[in-house]
Every structure is written in C-alpha cells, then in structure tokens.
Amino acid sequence: MIEKTDDIETCRAIRREVFIIEQNVSEAEEWDGRDDEAIHLLARDPLGRAIGTARILFDAETGKIGRVAVLQAARGTGTGAALIRAALDELRALPEIRRVKLGAQTHAIGFYEKLGFKVFGPEYDDAGIPHRDMILEL
C-alpha cells in the first residue's frame, strides 16, 4: 500500500537506513532542507510496516521524484515500482506538470526505463554514486 503522508520522520528513517547507513551518503547531503516543501509517499507491507518512501518536488512545469528508498528486506517485491507509479499518479493529477524528472543511480537505469523514463545528459556524481538524469513527458 502506498499513501501520501505527513509522517516525514518515518520516511527519513527509511532514507537513513538506505542512503546513510547502506550507501554511505553523508547526512549533510541527504538532509538537504527540502523535505518541508515536498510531497512524501510511504509504502507499507501487508502487516502495515513502513518499507519504502519517495518524495516529490516541483520546479515550474516539472515534477521531480527523488529520495526513492526501499528497505533491503522489501527489495524485489515491486515496492519501488509501486512508489514510482504512485508518484506519477500524483503528478498527472496536477495540470501544470508537463514532465517528470529524476536522478537515477546508474545501476537502476533499466528499472526506470521499464517505467517509461528516458536517459538524458551525461553521467554525474551525486554523493559519491554515479547517476544519470532521466525524464518522462506526461
């Protein structure tokens, strides 16, 4: 189950586990001060446990999906794809949004391509992890 949430602390706990602990992203890079302006999504397993999160930011006609994190035990269950689909549903409901952008870790490009995103621009380093920008026109 995916829901919009105001429970930013639970979302941040998942991000801490995945990005800071597992992927060694620094706290300064992870906590960018933009959580208060974002829409947050929270994924729960059938028992109601929080297992994944994503956030949505806005820049004029572009929605930006980011901070997509699924706890290790829940990977491979479709939770990541469900989070992206839920984020796209949120963005499609906003008539001013024309495109969706995200920064994909390079190992996840195929995952996002299956969801309709296309790579653009060069590879870049974000928090010590190689990324490529991806876009989906709505």
Which one, of 131, 58, 69, 42, lies nearest residue 99 by Cα? 58
CA–CA dist 52, 65 (Å, integer): 14
Q: What is the pTM of this model?
A: 0.94
Give 80-135 pLDDT, tens digit per residue: 999 999 999 999 999 999 999 999 999 999 999 999 999 999 999 988 899 999 99
pLDDT at residue 82, rounded to an integer? 97
Task: Tell me if 54 sits within 8 A of 65, measured CB to CB.
Answer: yes
Domains of the chain, by residue range, sit at: 2-137
Which one, of 15, 27, 16, lies nearest residue 53 by Cα? 15
SS3 assignment, position 95: coil
Give 30-83 pLDDT, tens digit per residue: 999 999 999 999 999 999 999 999 999 999 999 999 999 999 999 999 999 999
> In the sheet that 62-70 helps form, which strands lie side by side, from edge to edge?
2-5, 39-44, 50-59, 62-70, 99-105, 129-137, 118-126
CA–CA dist 113, 134 (Å, integer): 9
According to the CATH classification, is domain 2-137 in 3.40.630.30? yes
pLDDT at residue 34, rounded to an integer? 96
